[in-house]
Amino acid sequence: MRARADNFQKMTEKVVPTTVRNLCDLAGQVVRSESLKRVVALVERVARYPVAVLIVGETGTGKEMIARALHERSLRCNSPWIDVNCAAMPEHLVESELFGYEKGAFSGADSQKQGLFELAHRGTLFLDEIGDLDAKIQVKLLRVLDGVPYYRLGGSRKVSVDVRIVAATNQNLEELVRAGSFRSDLYHRLAQFKVEIPPLRERPDDLVGIAELVLQQHYPGSNLTGDAVAKLLSYDWPGNVRQLRNCIFHAVLSAGNPAVELTANDIKLPDSSAITDREVRLNRHLGQVERQMVLKALERCSGHQGKAAKALGISRRTLLRKLKSYRDPQQGLESGISSGQIQRYYRAEINTDARIIDGTECLPGTLLNISLGGAGVALKKQLSFGTAVTIYFRIPTQETELRLAGQIVWSNNEGQHGVQFSDLPAELQAILKTWLDSEINGEGASQSSTQ
């Protein structure tokens, strides 16, 4: 909150006109905030790899722009880009639209029609609002994503396609999986790499930049006054970028002197006296919100504590202290956070010899730290993103060598790699839980120098 207040004060002191050209950094999208710059950096990195990408974020945050940027920066950039809104397609047409149909497959099918998968061959298929996809189509989509040839509707000849899938949703797919309305296997197949776009209310730099961009598209050289910026920053923007653009457009039409400036009086917002649900939660449950923010940051950073701490604007030491403080010494755990969540993201430093199997090659290395969700390892060989690895090691309380499987999710120039674990066997999970619990509560619990 202090960071947002500082940004608020800094931006209202003076607003300097910015050219439209300098505002647009990614597919026409304004990128000023550090959080969105990190998203852009991830896009640049993952675009080169043929993995499926799931983009999550609230309505209006610009998920389609990020998806287009992934395509344009990929090796498929000269091949087709096909996009479809899964929520907008009538349920009875979804299968025929995605997979095509043969002549005579149903009444009105007067000729053969290629599906969107075929049209996107060797290119990118963007599935927006993937959470609204019917359960029957989820099964067929999963098989296609696994490389299995499929039949057009009413067809007898199998069709094979080479398509990169980028999906987007404003829903919590993990909750939909738990509720049984979205297939767990499809979710994990779509989310080989996950990109989360922060809401506009958490990106004041971008908010002001977008407002300036829309204003200058109509009146180059015009300016937002300090009170106008203050008013924009005081609102939560539940509709995000789309709502902000509409607001500035209407202000331009109704302002007294838009060719020179927009003032606070020109900008019409919903009743600011009404307290939003978010504000109520923030005021009444600040401690709970902080815990949720910490765990969410760790999830977005694949458990990388250094990156999560930077995203939160705190030191790694503070982050570790917060994870430990979320345990109540009298009652065991505070409400709202489970032991499993703490153990998943609390990485205990271990610094022990390990063997890392990369395909058929056995690499000597060091296990730097470990949690239930992943580990940090040091190797002399640089492994690429998505590489499947198996780690063999021992923890202090166990003489038996343990074996963990996962994949590389980050690396740096110093040979350090982050490994995200696959599902842990129950017996191994119990061993790690017991040891991590003792590390979290014990005086000897150390802080990782890597994550």
Note down pLDDT in tens along the chain; length 451 residues.
444 444 444 443 333 333 333 344 555 678 888 888 888 888 889 998 889 999 999 999 989 989 999 999 999 999 999 999 888 877 778 888 899 998 888 877 788 889 899 999 999 999 999 988 888 889 888 988 888 898 888 888 899 999 999 999 999 998 888 888 899 999 999 999 999 999 999 888 889 889 998 998 898 888 888 888 888 988 889 999 999 999 999 999 988 898 999 999 999 988 644 444 444 444 444 455 566 677 767 766 656 677 777 777 677 777 777 776 654 443 333 444 444 555 555 667 788 899 998 877 889 999 988 877 778 888 988 888 778 899 998 887 777 788 888 888 777 777 888 887 877 777 888 888 888 777 665 534 333 334 4
**Distance set, CA 304 to CA 187, 192, 346, 418 (Å):** 22, 17, 10, 7
- Per-residue pLDDT, 67: 93
Tell me what pLDDT residue 331 has: 34
Q: Give the DSSP H/E element, type plus range, for residue 316.
A: helix 316-325
Contacts of 272 (CB under 8 A, 6+ apart): 234, 235
pLDDT at position 54: 96
CB 155 within 8 A of CB 105: yes
Q: From residue 166, give the alpha-carbon distance in Å to each of 118, 135, 180, 239.
A: 15, 19, 22, 23
Q: Does the global pTM surpass 0.75?
A: no
What is the reported pLDDT for 87? 81
DSSP-assigned letter for residue 153:
B
Residue with tokens 């910490």: 294
